[in-house]
Chains A and B, each alone.
Chain A
Amino acid sequence: MNDIIVKSITRLVIPFLQLYGIYIILHGHISPGGGFSGGALIGSSLILYTLVFGVDRAQKKFSHRVSEIAESGGILLYLFVGALGIALTGNFLSNKAAGFPLGELGSLLSGGIIPVLMIGIGIKVASTMITLFHVLIQEESQ
């Protein structure tokens, strides 16, 4: 798409979209939303970039190699934190019983392992969204 208005507006909007997604991911344990919603927002901002600037430039920014690492890394972070609970108490994803600091209710640094899990889910969902779209779009050029 070769339109200066669309390109300028996209450049202006994408940082706010991604900031909002990161905000929702980081506040997953104290406000509505969480890893899945925030990850979907970040993924749709990357889809917007692909739609406006073309799949080749988007592939340079977020290639299949990066998305492989992000997807596996996100879910491995989740599994690692869950396995930490098994090692400490014997239950998967045990939080308070495993001795993680819970913090003060309502503050950003609270909830023990929940924020870490939210970050893992957010990375995985965002990279899954963009990979789905790239795979659907790219097949034609090959």
Chain B
Amino acid sequence: MIVLNVMIVIFLIVAALAIERTKDLLSAVIIFSVYSLMMSVLWLILKTPDVALTEAAIGAGVTSILFIAVISRTQRYEK
């Protein structure tokens, strides 16, 4: 279980760096939603299922939709 834990944490660090490096904001939002999904798996491993449920609904679902709505009203590429 510790191996899975460490792998997810390394994935989260890589995903966070990728979000920061990406110039295409739509790709950044998609990577962010993957980040939230893996974060919710990590919460489940850390035995907090209620936080995992909230993270999956808010982080991966509603936040991505709100970000995409904002991108559709501004511009897609970072200058």
Contact = CB atoms under 8 A, between A and B. Distances in A.
Given A37-B54, A40-B57, 8 more contacts: A37-B53, A40-B54, A41-B57, A44-B61, A47-B62, A133-B62, A133-B65, A139-B73
A104 interface: no
Size class of B's contact patch? 10 to 19
B73 A24 contact: no
A129 B62 CA distance: 8
A40 B53 CA distance: 10
Given A136-B70, A139-B73, A140-B73, A36 B62 contact: no
Size class of A's contact patch? 10 to 19
B16 interface: no
Nearest to A136: B69
A99 to B, nearest CB: 28
Contacts of A139: 73
A73 interface: no
Contacts of A133: 62, 65-66, 69
10 contacts: A32-B49, A33-B49, A33-B50, A36-B54, A37-B53, A47-B65, A129-B62, A133-B65, A133-B69, A136-B70
A24 B53 CA distance: 10
Contacts of A85: none
A34 interface: yes
B28 to A, nearest CB: 18
Interface string A11-43: 000000000000010000000111011001101
A34 B49 CA distance: 11
A44 B70 CA distance: 17
A136 B66 contact: yes
